[in-house]
Amino acid sequence: MKSRASRRGSALPPSPLDIALPARAIAMELIAGRGHYERVLSAVFDAKVSVWIATANVKELMVEGPPATARKRDAYVSVLARLDELAKRGVELRLLHAEIPSGPFRAELQYHPRLLAGGLALRRCPRVHLKAVIVDGAVLYLGSANWTGAGLGAKGSGRRNFELGFVTDDAPLLDQIQGLYERIWTGGECAACRLREDCPGPLVELGQAPVTLRKTKPRRRK
């Protein structure tokens, strides 16, 4: 019986994403539930250089407004408004995702031309299932939470998903995860991918150009 590799003609080189590294001790913070919002989103809003996000699903999520609005009742805004502030300060924003962003997310995005013009770079790969947030190359979140309101947003108890994850500043792990993220982002896995029929466009063909979402009619603001 021929092996799978021989049936394809030749074996593909091993992928850097197919790894199992030796165990070693690292310092980390375990977070669950609202801890995701309080720890991960707060790190994002304090970013000075870059925010790289990986998620399977992308949905609109609400967060507390900037300090100037803190005294107002129900002073919540779209996370895109806070990301727009970061883009204005020159922070690099990347969003790597699998599914098409939700309608409300796309509608809200129309109110932020800076993000639409490349301030928020989006790339879609149907195989992305990892959930990660990397801030300034110095803080790493790995866990179960998608970029959604029920995962990372400001929802209260009883309305959130049950999520678990950890945050660390471990330098070797940060280097490893950033390398894997960059490989996916730049299309390093496209040649060996077997899901081309489901692919919106191989990332390897994008170079450094940002993905543009199709236009969606903005929802009426209250």
Reported as a single tens digit per residue, the pLDDT across 93-117 is: 999 999 999 999 999 999 999 999 9
pLDDT confidence of residue 219: 45
Count Cβ atoms within 10 A of the Cβ of residue 186 and give its class: 0-12 exposed, 13-18 middle, 19 or more buried. middle
pLDDT score for 144: 98
How many other CB atoms are found less than 10 A from the CB of residue 86? 21
pLDDT digits (tens, 9 = 90+) for 145-202: 999 999 999 887 788 899 999 999 999 999 999 999 999 999 999 988 888 777 888 8
DSSP single-letter state for residue 196: G
Give the DSSP per-residue string, 144-170. S--BSHHHHS---TTSS---EEEEE--
From CA 222, how far away is CA 216, in angstroms rounded?
A: 18
Q: Find where tokens 């502030």 sit.
A: 85
d(CA 56, CA 130): 7
The secondary structure element, H or E, covering residue 50 is strand 50-55
Q: Record the tokens describing residue 89, joined without a space.
A: 């300060």
pLDDT of residue 74: 56
Q: What is the pLDDT of residue 195?
A: 83
For the entire predicted model, the pTM comes to 0.85
Residue 216 has pLDDT above 80, yes or no: no
pLDDT of residue 91: 98
pLDDT given at position 180: 96
Answer yes or no: are the C-beta atoms of 149 and 155 closer than 8 Å. yes
Tokens of 46: 């304090």
Q: What is the pLDDT of residues 1-37, one digit of tens each?
A: 443 433 344 466 778 889 899 999 999 999 999 999 9
Closest CA to 49 of 12, 79, 99, 93: 93
If you compute the radius of gyration of the chain from its CA atoms, what whole number of angstroms results? 19
Question: Tell me: the pLDDT tens digits for 46-98?
Answer: 999 999 999 999 999 999 987 665 555 558 999 999 999 999 999 999 999 99
Average pLDDT over residues 38-52: 97
